[in-house]
Amino acid sequence: MSLHAQDDPELRRAQEERLRAVWAPPQGLFLRWSDTNNDRVGVWYTLTAFAFMLFAGVLALIMRTQLAAPDNDLVSANTFNQLFTLHGSMMMFLFAVPMFEAVSILILPQLLGARDLPFPRLSAFGYWSFLIGGVFVSGSIFFNAAPDGGWFMYPPLTTRTDLSGLGADIWMLGLSFIEVSSVAAAVELIVGVLKCRPPGMRLNLMPLYAWYILVVAVMILFAFPPLIAGDILFEMERLLNWPFFDASRGGDPLLWQHLFWIFGHPEVYIIFLPSIALFAMLVPTFARRHLLGYPWIVLAAVGTAFLSFGLWVHHMFTTGLPKISLAFFSAASEAVVIPTGVQIFVFIATLWAGRVVWSTPLLFASGSLAIFVIGGLTGVMVAVAPFDWQAHDTYFVVAHLHYVLIGGTLMPLFAGLYYYWPMITGKKLSDRLGRTAFWMLFIGANLTFFPMHFSGLEGMPRRVFTYPAELGIGGLNLASTLGAYLFAAGVAVICVDLALSPRRAVGKRNPWDAGTLEWVEDPGDDTHWGVRCVPLVTSRYPLWDQKDFVKKVDEGRFFLPDAEEGRRETIVTTVLDARPLSVIRLGTPSFKPMLTSVALGGVFILTTYHLYWAALVCGFATLAMVLWWLWTGTAEIPEKECKPIGHGIELPLYVSGSSSPGWWAMFITMMADATAFSGLVFGYYFFWTRHDDFPPEGMDAAPGMFWPLVAMGGSLASWAVTVAAREVHARGGVGAARMLLVAGIALSAVGVYAGLAGPWLAGMDPEAHVYPAIVWTLAVWTAAHSGVAIIMMGYTLARSLAGRMTPRHDAEIRNITVYMHFLALTAVVTYATIGLFPEVA
Amino acid sequence: MKRGLPGWARRLRVTLWTLIVPPTTWAVHFLFSYLWASISCAKVGAFATVPVLFLIGTILALIVIAASGWIAWMQSRTPGDAPPHQDSTDVDRLRFLAKSTLLLSGLSFVGVVFTALPVVFIGDCR
Ligand code: HEM
Ligand SMILES: [Cu+2]
């Protein structure tokens, strides 16, 4: 036995004491809600999403009860509209996506052997936004004010304020707020997977769950922003009467359908891939062997992610688009079957090649795959345009979508629940109750949704609150309703199982004998540090393959076993090869995230009720909160340059630029921002292709070339000046860099002024026609971004003046440069579009 | 095994970015096809009987995908340690990324061909 510092039990105990103290959750009835540690926030998040699922399920039961018999009058048509809209929207926005984020926040750090994700406070912010927005949206049904336009909210019925009430605003603004938190979580997860892996865990050793999370989070980044862009246009129409979707003033309702489904189809995969990811963790465990074909899974995940963005128009087959365009999307729809099939075959092959241990989680997994495959088959049917023309908007589609969602999302999550419950609580759930519940769910789901194929083909349209007895579909509907009750009873059995859990005894650690990192920690004791020490990983299943792995972790023999300075820390590594780069200090419990989300929630909620001044106040409060949060919590200059993490390795405590998580977060956020922007630009060119009167006679000269070109020049100059400031600053020219920042502020101000002056001085009236409306939208978007640039440069200047930014510690200026790159791009596209394009076209 | 792997291809580093070249090419080609069809249908009223622009775009996309697949294939044969190639070494990571890229180019190739087919079979704007 070699002599190693960790051989000293005294030292180990002292280290554990320090770690325990640093990671201790805040106590007390009130303070506990300031927690930001992933093990708490993740649990809150999961429970909240689960509760929303139950609520949405109750809404579904009411609907099914109404539909049990022909000509039933349990609920009115109006209530029924609210029921299905809220059921669908909640299931998609308040359950499926947040659940994936919740589960990932909970288990990803463990899976990566990290103490926490890089931005714990951002997770907390996301959680509080989700809670506030979710309660706001779902609570509306108790005031008879729930949205009633269906989960895809097609205009013009929903944009005309005389035909739809407050509900539409609640949907748009409430869910936009939640989308913000989804994007925040995506940023957190991407940076977590890329930068917080343990040393040695190269890309080819990453747990498959992490691969899927990476892919799904990237998909969120490209799928949600177009919807946010759509929401913006939608609310401009409802609140300000800008006619984006109003055909009588040059608008087009189809634009909404495009923006919605560019989000809506990938969404289906966004909620399906994480479930597959759970399978990828539990199948090897129960097959007792490595997963076969690791690169094939990566192919499947990445391939599905890409192809799924080429499918959106298959939801629009009946809108009268040219057949040639439909055909492209039909082709892509068939192509996506390839990667989807690959994943399923990889699992089957792995089970085939292994020694299978039949367990409750595996039972759920295989049952849900069976259901999913039926949904996949009907999916291929509706992807064939002529069939879709027949089945569109009938119960056939309702059957298809629920097979996919229940087999692809709900049941896999139950598999994950049974699998991971012991990891979180240390206790196993009951096998007997689990199996009972499984069979009730399995039979219930089939009994509910299989008959719907036939009621659909018999001619029952979806979204009807009742149907005449003469249609002869009473029996089929009764069967569906009975199935729904059986299904609900199955869910109730699971809830009972969960409720009994606190009374059960703590079981043994790693009860399934899994091989992956998340099982290293012992959930039985009261530690909250994530991992005792950050391990060195040299295998895909370290618990199986690396000798004495768990013991070494327990004894703190790997990296960062201590918290000498009393700070929460984790290791940051390189993207490809997970070579250690630095130690970062993590955010500690704080109320700032919660207060920020309250302020931001105020903006959205007050706008819903047209209380614009109060909303504006909340907007300023949000800005102030964010600045305070950043000022006090980020890019702190450490008390020393480096610190040892054990085994003779010293790592810096401060990094900036592309090796720091903050830089990545900025980069990724800007990708989302650029995607939202392209949604708006798409709108402009969409109108141009579809309407010959765009720009209309008499308006085609506005806003002219002069002001847009001045704005473009100003923005590009402020970009150049920022890049110069970064370079000068890095070479020690602090004073010069400050001057350049001041110049940058002035130039951005030119961007704001000239950008708005174009449409303003041309007297463009956005209510008159869609052309001025979309020009204004692009101009305002870009000017607002120039405004944000002013704030960022001011902030950076202030940091420099306060001595919080030096040539060695220059994260702020490097991060804002990333922002400026994207701003320059935005400005070029906007001003070329509104200033130059009308000349060319 | 080094035979056939030109120096420049060996020097090309495999990163996460190279992994997404083939599917990105598919995406660009897809978007291009869609925009080309919808713009020519909306503005010209019909598309040309011999769509040269479309043909060039498709061939270009296929060439890019095939090339990145070929490079990936070469790199996936970099000699190194013994199978099963799942250790924490430079070579294994390189081979893994190269192999995944290769698989993705296969999928993207099929995707591009699928997208091109409708033009052959439909050929008008109705
Ligand atoms: C056994 C459980 C469930 C039952 C009984 C059920 C029942 C229903 C019913 C009756 C409708 C209305 C269909 C119509 O009139 O068009 C509906 C729509 C919908 N459901 Fe479910 N559902 C269940 C689970 C789920 C799950 C788990 C999800 C998603 C994760 C989901 C997502 C949707 C969506 C997106 C719609 C469309 C809403 C709309 O048309 O606007 N459902 N469901
Ligand atoms: Cu779809």
Provide the number of CB pairs (under 8 Å) joining chain A to chain B. Answer: 123
Tell me the C-alpha distance between A189 and A408, whole Å.
22
Lowest mean pLDDT among A325-334, B45-54, B105-114: B45-54
Q: Is A538 helix (H, G, I), strand (E, B) or coil?
A: coil
Per DSSP, which regions of A513-604 are E strands? 569-573, 580-585
Q: What's the confidence (pLDDT) of residue A277?
A: 92
* CA quadruple A387, A388, A392, A395: dihedral sign: positive
Q: Is B122 on the interface with A (CB under 8 A)?
A: yes
pLDDT in tens, A242-291: 999 999 998 999 999 999 999 999 998 999 999 999 999 999 999 988 88
**Ligand nearest the Cα atom of residue A146:** 1
Name which of A32, A19, A37 is nearest A121 in CA terms: A37
Tell me the C-alpha distance between A628 and A313, whole Å.
44
Going by the DSSP 8-state scheme, the letter that residue A26 receives in this structure is: P
Per-residue confidence band for B82, with pLDDT thresholds at 50, 70 and 90? low
> For a substitution probing ligand 1, which of A402, A403, A404 has the most ligand atoms within 8 Å of its CB?
A402
CB B29 within 8 A of CB B66: no
Q: Which residues of A touch B93 (CB under 8 A)?
A: 202-204, 576-577
Indicate yes or no: CB of A202 within 8 angstroms of CB of B92: yes
Q: Is A203 helix (H, G, I), strand (E, B) or coil?
A: helix
Q: Which two tokens stand for residue A529?
A: 């540090």
Indicate yes or no: CB of A323 within 8 angstroms of CB of B24: no
Q: Is A559 helix (H, G, I), strand (E, B) or coil?
A: strand
Per DSSP, which regions of A720-799 are E strands? none
Tell me the C-alpha distance between B126 and B122, whole Å.
9
Q: Is A580 helix (H, G, I), strand (E, B) or coil?
A: strand
Q: Which atom of ligand 1 is nearest to the CA of A83?
A: 12
A564 vs A795, more confident: A795
Chain B residue with minimum CA distance to A292 = B84
Tell me the C-alpha distance between A173 and A140, whole Å.
13
Average pLDDT (A579-607) is 94
CB atoms within 10 A of CB A690: 15
Tell me the C-alpha distance between A415 and A368, whole Å.
9
Average pLDDT (A57-67) is 97
The b/e string for A194-221 (b: 16+ C-beta within 10 A; e otherwise) is: bbbbbbbbbbbbbbbbbbbbbbbbbbbb
Average pLDDT (A32-56) is 94
Scanning the structure block, which residue is given the tokens 């997860």?
A189
CB A641 within 8 A of CB A652: yes
Residue B6 has pLDDT above 80, yes or no: no
Tell me the C-alpha distance between A247 and A643, whole Å.
64
Average pLDDT of every residue of chain A:
92
Going by the DSSP 8-state scheme, the letter that residue A644 receives in this structure is: E
Tell me the C-alpha distance between A412 and A415, whole Å.
5
Q: Which residues of A touch B110 (CB under 8 A)?
A: 335, 338
- Which residues is A583 bridged to in the sheet? A571
Q: Which two tokens stand for residue A133?
A: 């927005």
Q: Which two tokens stand for residue B114?
A: 């699928």
pLDDT in tens, A347-357: 889 888 888 88
Q: Is A517 on the interface with B (CB under 8 A)?
A: no
Tell me the C-alpha distance between B119 and B51, whole Å.
9
Q: Which two tokens stand for residue A213?
A: 């999370």
- Contacts of residue B78, defined as CB under 8 A and 6 or more positions apart, other chains included, come to B1, B10, B91, B94, B95, B98
Q: How close is the Cα of A521 to the center of ligand 1, in Å? A: 39
Per-residue confidence band for A775, with pLDDT thresholds at 50, 70 and 90? very high
Closest Cα to atom 12, ligand 1: which residue? A84
Nearest-neighbour CA in chain B from A461: distance (Å): 28
Determine if the peptide bond prior to A695 is cis (ω within 30°): yes
Q: How close is the Cα of A309 to the center of ligand 2, in Å? A: 9
Tell me the C-alpha distance between A473 and A453, whole Å.
11
Q: What angle do CA A346, A347, A349 make, to 5 degrees?
A: 65
- Counting residues of chain A whose pLDDT is more than 90, the rounded percentage is 72
Q: Which atom of ligand 1 is nearest to the CA of A67?
A: 10
Scanning the structure block, which residue is given the tokens 């190279």?
B18
Q: Which two tokens stand for residue B47?
A: 């598309």
- Strand pairing category for A642-646 and A649-652: antiparallel
Tell me the C-alpha distance between A476 and A70, whole Å.
11
Nearest-neighbour CA in chain B from A577: distance (Å): 8
Q: Is A525 helix (H, G, I), strand (E, B) or coil?
A: coil
CB A674 within 8 A of CB A822: yes
Q: How many CA atoms lie less than 13 Å away from A581 in the CB half-sphere?
A: 20
Q: What's the confidence (pLDDT) of residue B2?
A: 43
In Å, how far are A72, A174, A224, A350, A543 from A510, measured between CA atoms? Answer: 52, 40, 37, 21, 10
Per-residue confidence band for A1, with pLDDT thresholds at 50, 70 and 90? very low
Residue A90 has pLDDT above 70, yes or no: yes
* Reported ipTM exceeds the 0.85 cut: yes
Name which of A509, A518, A428, A422 is nearest A208 in CA terms: A518
Q: What angle do CA A259, A669, A125 make, to 5 degrees?
A: 100
Q: Is B78 on the interface with A (CB under 8 A)?
A: no
pLDDT winner (highest mean) among A395-409, A544-558, A687-701: A395-409
Q: What's the confidence (pLDDT) of residue B1?
A: 40
Scanning the structure block, which residue is given the tokens 């892996």?
A197
Can you give A428-477 as a three-state secondary structure string? CCCHHHHHHHHHHHHHHHHHHHHHHHHHHHCCCECCCCCCCHHHCCHHHH
Q: Which residues of A touch B119 (CB under 8 A)?
A: 324
Q: What's the confidence (pLDDT) of residue A292?
A: 86
Q: What's the confidence (pLDDT) of residue A556?
A: 86
Give the alpha-carbon dihedral of A307, A312, A317, A318, to 10 degrees.
Answer: 170
